Amino acid sequence: MAARSRVELSTRLRQVAGIVGVAMDGQLVTLNISRGSYYGLDEVAARIWPLLSQPRSVAEVCSLLMEEFDPGKRDLHSDVVAFLNTMVDEGLVEILDETTP
């Protein structure tokens, strides 16, 4: 079994180059052409996608989401971390090292 990514609040991420995100039937669909896979994103996930068009920490993403969505959602951080681990594992988002601008 493949090792799972370890995304934490301090982890910096961005979209992988060449991944396409398209609005379709009220949701955002991302397409990984190299893998031939596509993913439908719900409202919160669809908001995360454009936030990662530039390098951001998971904490920054969560902070921005809390401004736009339910700030009382206790599970936001863990939900975002779990989602981003999946995105990394699927090759849609990449983890950046500390020297990447």
CATH value at residue 49: 3.90.930
Position 100 in a domain: no
Position 40 in a domain: yes
For the ranges 2-6, 21-25, 73-77, 86-90, the maximum mean pLDDT occurs at 86-90
Give the chain's domain count: 1
Report pLDDT digits (tens) over 49-95: 999 999 999 999 999 998 887 766 667 888 899 999 999 998 999 99
Position 4 in a domain: no
Position 61 in a domain: yes
Domain that holds residue 64: 12-95
Q: Find the largest Cα–Cα distance for the chain.
A: 39
Among residues 49, 76, 75, 52, which one has the least CA distance to residue 63? 76
Position 7 in a domain: no
Position 5 in a domain: no
Mean pLDDT of 17-40: 85
pTM of the predicted protein model? 0.83
